[in-house]
Chains A and B, each alone.
Chain A
Amino acid sequence: MSTILEARQLCKRFGAATALEHVNFSFAPGHIIGLLGPNGSGKTTLIKLVCGLLTPTEGEVLVCGMQPSHQTKSLVSYLPDKLYFDNWMKVRDCLALFADFYQDFDRAKATDMMASLGIDTNKTFRTLSKGTQEKVQLSLVMSRRAQLYLLDEPIGGVDPAARDFILDTIINNYNDQGTVVISTHLISDIERVLDDVVFLFGGRVERMASVDSLREQYGKSVDEVFREVFRC
């Protein structure tokens, strides 16, 4: 399969407000892609369209050649930008939930990852800090053997040491056929693990390039290029 994720003239409007306008891209398997843009540039809307949580106003988005449906949900592992487990749940309840829900879930892997991050699986969600809650969710999402991982702000709330661990996990875990899309504005932390970056601005693709070609072109890190392009 040559493309895992494709958008054709993708538009999303909420009433009079335009969230995405004529977005086009296509990505081959085995890449780690950074979805970068200032607040309100359409990153989360784009990810939600890929998941099928929103429907396009115009154009289409394709996962492995298919429009988002129950079929593509088994191929996509999605980390939302919000926490979605109930407060009363224990971490091991979440593990059980994922094991029930997803055929491709590797419970041993998730348990190992949580152990490395020092997470006690007997604790209830309510008693965990926000960062730890995020680590739990990310461990679960990364422990699926999916084709496409969509990570919406995966490292925003976690400490720098755990960030490194999470990035190592992403490098280690994603399979050669898998593609990872990471939306974030913490660019300097993650640019080394990315193949390509997509700059979104006001719902449009402002720039799309490989990390190394941007660095060569500007003689600057992607973080610095971003600050220049989106200077307020």
Chain B
Amino acid sequence: MLKWKFDNDRSISAQISETIQKGILSGVYPPGSGIPSVRALAVEAGVNPNTMQKALAELEAQGLLHTQRTSGRTVTSDEKLITELRQRMATSYIDAFFQSMMGLGIEPQLAIEMLTSRKTPINPTEVS
């Protein structure tokens, strides 16, 4: 099951695409596996089916999803595409991290030092 949560300041379809991308990266939808139907996903996320359709079409255009004539949509088995996606999302998280740190008046160099010297173990249940 994916975690569906929507921010107010961006389009819903972009946020749906992102949630499904995370699902692919975190293994909820492994490479080559099938994903639920548009209707089922729309109900799961509590969104309009047309919006869900739009988000899935966007992911198809990126090559992350494929439509099979008989068995609905499947996740790509192209590991290279998935690695690229992971890289891209990781970079945007890192950028956001540095931006937040700058907002606290902490320069990137210091932020990196703080990261590497962090001792508290990371609780995996807190990772979204």
Given the interface pairs A172-B39, A212-B51, the reply to whether A193 lies near B11 with Cβ below 8 Å is no
Give which listed residue, B10, B13, B46, B54, contacts A193 with CB less than 8 A.
B46
- A115 an interface residue at 8 Å Cβ cutoff? no
Interface of B, helix, strand, loop or mixed by DSSP: helix
- A168 an interface residue at 8 Å Cβ cutoff? yes
Interface of A, helix, strand, loop or mixed by DSSP: helix
- A19 an interface residue at 8 Å Cβ cutoff? no
Q: Measured between C-beta atoms, what is the minimum distance from A102 to chain B in Å?
A: 24
Most chain B CB within 10 A, of A30, A32, A167, A193, is at A193
- B43 an interface residue at 8 Å Cβ cutoff? yes
For residue A145, which residues in chain B have a CB less than 8 angstroms away from its CB?
none
For residue A164, which residues in chain B have a CB less than 8 angstroms away from its CB?
46
- A215 an interface residue at 8 Å Cβ cutoff? yes
B12 touching A211, Cβ below 8 Å: yes
- B42 an interface residue at 8 Å Cβ cutoff? yes
In residues 121-177 of chain A, which contact B (Cβ within 8 Å)?
164, 167-168, 171-172
B48 touching A32, Cβ below 8 Å: yes
Most chain B CB within 10 A, of A30, A213, A220, A221, is at A221
For residue B82, which residues in chain A have a CB less than 8 angstroms away from its CB?
none
For residue A112, which residues in chain B have a CB less than 8 angstroms away from its CB?
none
Least CB separation from A193: chain B residue: B48
Q: Measured between C-beta atoms, what is the minimum distance from B51 to chain A in Å?
A: 7
- A21 an interface residue at 8 Å Cβ cutoff? no
B10 touching A167, Cβ below 8 Å: no
- A31 an interface residue at 8 Å Cβ cutoff? yes
Residues of chain B at the chain A interface (Cβ within 8 Å)? 6, 8-13, 39, 42-43, 45-51, 54
